[in-house]
A and B are shown apart, each in its own frame.
Chain A
Amino acid sequence: MEQSEKIFETRELNVSMGPQHPATHGVLRLVLDLDGETIVKVTPYVGYLHRGIEKLGESLSYFQALPLTDRMDYVSAMSNNIGYVVAVEKLFGIEVPERAKYIRTIVGEMSRVSNHLLWLATHALDIGAMTVFLYCFRDREWILDLFEMICGARLTVTYPRIGGVRNDVPQEFLDSLWKFTDEFEARIVEYETLIDQNRIWLLRTKGIGIISGEEAVNWGMTGPTLRGSGVSYDIRKHMPYDAYDKVEFDVPIGSEGDVYDRYRCRMLEMRESIKILRQCIEQLPAGPVMATAPKFTLQPKDAMMPITHPVNEVAYVVDAKACKGCGMCLRACPAKAIAGEKKQAHKIDQALCLQCATCFVSCKFKALKIIPGGKGLSEDKLNEAAAMPMPDEIKKAGEHLVAQFEFIKKGPKVPEGDLYVATEVPKGELGFYFVSDGSGKPYRMRVRAPSFIHAGVLPRLCVGHLVADVISNIGTIDIVLGECDR
């Protein structure tokens, strides 16, 4: 009887969109309550890609934590790196050479262009414009090739370093980039011919996901997502870092605060990035690319290790007399090339050895010997050489090696205190907050990830619209779940 009374009761259709879904840009999960096709309620769930980057940062020295930042927003890894190193440099109080500043501005803007290209590609694909996707990927490829030219990696670059950049840029890089800036303007026009005035595109983007400037600020939105609502807030302009105070550029802002305005903002931003790139290439000063602050920065390897012998021809041998059999090297060896019982002399299997020197720096008893040119020698000869005292040059190089190892592992002596430094990454304001207790590792590392904050705005943007608008709203806030979940 009770059942028959309830028979006409309606309830919302509960759809779990994600974490595996073609349009949630990774592993975002949205639980939608649908009334027909209309959204009644949206609940975003994040954390499917949580790798504990903030916590990992606490157990690694400042140098070691840098590659972690690549893995946050893997679409614009370069910008994340820059955000991190700028923050750490402020904490250390070191000044970066001009050339390094310019190079960082260049790669940062390249990363912005590549991020916006990927954003446009996926946003358009979500709304159904398939061709834009491939056009964008074609041009993004150029930037990734340029990244490969300067650092060998395309996505997880780790190119900027605390105190500068890893290496100087070659001339071909600048030439190719100049050509890119020449041609890219026409490419943007090409994308715009496909969607900018397209009636369907306008129908799908205008008046969708409207948020006023004031509300957007209250929600903590930043970057182009905020500027689409007409708030001119750009850290590059208002709190310049690197070389942004030396270049001319505008901050494009929208007026309506809808999906279309945010799209326009990003399209204009790409044009501004091209302007910045051209100015940076023109103004690029000569000079070093690494700060001279030996207490805080990694020195170039050749300055610290004057080994004249090629690294891959060196053999590492355990001096049986000095070895106490403590097992430190055994545990440290990444190739598992060291064998030996406790309290007995260990032995290195030369066939498995990678010549990585990890055993050398881990040995407390100086039992490991570096034998230059020792690769391929017979075991007897190696043992014979190990019994001899090491030449001075090698000894010195070994000490440098240990010093560098310790320096990276323990980190520099950092002034105590806490500090928050924000940079403008393509997605918004990326902030790093460090609490330093004076050691070489942060006591607390906190990342203010724009993607996380923007994912929180989704319910505000989606409710009342249709299912298809959820997709355009996910696209317009430009989130990457790697950064959101960290």
Chain B
Amino acid sequence: MDIANAIDPKMIDAIIRFGLEVLIILIKIVVVLAIGLLHVAYATYFERKVIGHMQVRLGPMRVGPHGLLQPFADGIKLFFKEDIIPANADKVVFYIAPIIFMAASMVNLSVIPFSYSFTIADFKISPVIADINIGLLFIFAMAGIGVYGIFIAGWASNSKYAFLGGLRSAAQVISYEIAMGLSLVGVMIMAGSLNLTDIVRAQEESVFGMFAIPQIVGFVVFTIAAVAETNRTPFDMPEAESELVAGYFTEYSGFRFAEFFLGEYIAMIIMASMATICFLGGWTLPWYILSVLPFLKMVPGIVWFLMKAYAFFFFYYWIRATLPRYRYDQVMAIGWKILIPVALANILVTGLVKIIITTLHGA
């Protein structure tokens, strides 16, 4: 008997199809990671340039034209730096901490959708690595794991500054995660889904075009919480340079420091993407803009996605150049006494409106 006949041709088809799908996922992972890391590199460049020009100076200018190769120079420098481990550090934990932190924020890239899905041959490709139904929850969960990285980094360094930084960070990130989660509940109610692609689709179909308009309160709360969650000015308590030297990564050097750095910037990218997806309509434009300027339909969705994310990035840098730093207790007070109650009120109002609308529709 022929071996080829022993297996059902449908089976072979299925196996090939499965192999191709795995291949597609692998390609997606490579593309997303490469683009994500490139964005991290140029986010630092963009940050230094933007803040430089806000502060009447030029920013990096030496490496390459207008300092364009500066991120690579920095990367190479960090890679070849001596890796110093404090004598009294808890070595194993000290090694693991930056990996946890970086991995936790990198994994988030897998659930972020970037554009419309498209078809090559008869494969429907959606530009997201894992189109899971609980994308939003997944991101929160991973942010929660990231805190472990920060906290055990602070603990394992066996340094008082790092310890204080780690403590502050744990308290701050956990508090603001609540505010951020609550601020997104409004979006969940309006979209009726936790899948990020569905949330964007819901915005495309809604009257407002983007949830930032009906959910303006949620958007403001989310923006503030996102800044606090990524430990950026004015909430950069954990690494407050003038108080705690560098906070939880005081004792880290060389590539381990780079891992924290990378994780932090990827977290920023995630936050910018979340804001884009949940509030600014993702890769879509509101229908009223499209009806006025119909030629904009020809622009691929990824362009709008990136532009919105970059705008959010710019906002990050802008406030960094403008605002002083809050004190630790003030940060906590804002989180618990202002943001959480406001977010709760927002959920209540959103829920009531939703009920009223459904009842009216039903009637």
Contacts and interface: CB of A to CB of B under 8 A. Distances in A.
A195 B323 CA distance: 8
B56 to A, nearest CB: 6
Nearest to B326: A200
Interface string A3-28: 00000000001110000011100000
A15 B160 contact: yes
19 contacts: A13-B164, A14-B160, A15-B164, A21-B245, A37-B329, A125-B242, A128-B236, A128-B324, A128-B325, A129-B322, A130-B55, A131-B321, A134-B56, A134-B57, A200-B326, A204-B326, A467-B243, A468-B243, A468-B325
Interface of B: 51, 54-57, 160-161, 164, 233-234, 236, 240-245, 320-330
A22 B246 CA distance: 10
B329 to A, nearest CB: 6
B242 A128 contact: yes
A127 interface: yes
A184 interface: no
Interface in A460-486: 466-471
A194 B240 CA distance: 20
B55 A203 contact: no
Q: Which of B55, B161, B324 has the most CB of A within 10 A?
A: B324
B243 A204 contact: no
Given A135-B55, A203-B327, A22 B236 contact: no
Contacts of A270: none
A466 B168 CA distance: 13
Contacts of A471: 242-243
Contacts of A15: 160-161, 164
A138 interface: yes
B55 A128 contact: no
B241 A131 contact: no
B161 A468 contact: no
Contacts of B242: 22-23, 125-128, 471
A135 B322 CA distance: 12
Majority SS of interface residues in chain A? helix
Given A22-B245, A128-B236, A130-B320, 11 more contacts: A13-B164, A37-B329, A124-B324, A129-B324, A130-B233, A134-B55, A200-B325, A200-B326, A201-B324, A204-B326, A471-B243
A375 B320 CA distance: 61
A467 B328 CA distance: 9
B137 to A, nearest CB: 32
Contacts of A470: 243
Contact of B327 (A34, A194, A198, A204): A204
A21 B328 CA distance: 19
Nearest to A203: B330
A468 B320 contact: no
B321 A130 contact: yes
Interface in A108-154: 124-131, 133-135, 138
B57 A203 contact: no
Interface string A187-216: 000000011001011011000000000000
Contacts of A34: 164
B55 A200 contact: no
B233 A128 contact: yes
A134 B322 CA distance: 12
Interface in A135-175: 135, 138
Nearest to B333: A203
Contacts of A23: 241-243
Q: Which of B320, B323, B326 has the most CB of A within 10 A?
A: B323
A467 B325 CA distance: 13
Contacts of B164: 13, 15, 34, 37, 467
B25 to A, nearest CB: 42
A257 B244 CA distance: 27
Given A126-B242, A134-B55, A471-B242, A203 B326 contact: yes
Q: Which of A14, A34, A200 has the most CB of B within 10 A?
A: A200
A127 B330 CA distance: 13
B241 to A, nearest CB: 6
The 10 closest A-B pairs by CB, nearest first: A128-B325, A23-B242, A134-B55, A129-B324, A128-B324, A126-B242, A468-B327, A127-B324, A200-B324, A15-B160
Contacts of A201: 324
Contacts of A13: 160, 164
A128 B327 CA distance: 10
B240 A468 contact: yes
Contacts of A22: 241-242, 245
Contacts of A467: 164, 243-244, 328
B234 A200 contact: yes
Contacts of A14: 160
Q: Which of B51, B243, B328 has the most CB of A within 10 A?
A: B243
A34 B236 CA distance: 20
Given A15-B160, A15-B161, A204 B324 contact: yes
Given A131-B55, A468-B240, A195 B324 contact: yes
Contacts of B241: 22-23
A152 B245 CA distance: 36
Contacts of B245: 21-22
A301 B60 CA distance: 48
A264 B226 CA distance: 33
A13 B159 CA distance: 11
Contact of A128 (B57, B160, B323, B328): B323
B236 to A, nearest CB: 7
Q: Which of A34, A126, A195 has the most CB of B within 10 A?
A: A126
Q: Which of B55, B326, B327 has the most CB of A within 10 A?
A: B327
A208 to B, nearest CB: 9
A104 B55 CA distance: 33
B239 to A, nearest CB: 11
B160 A468 contact: no
A318 to B, nearest CB: 52
Contacts of A194: 322
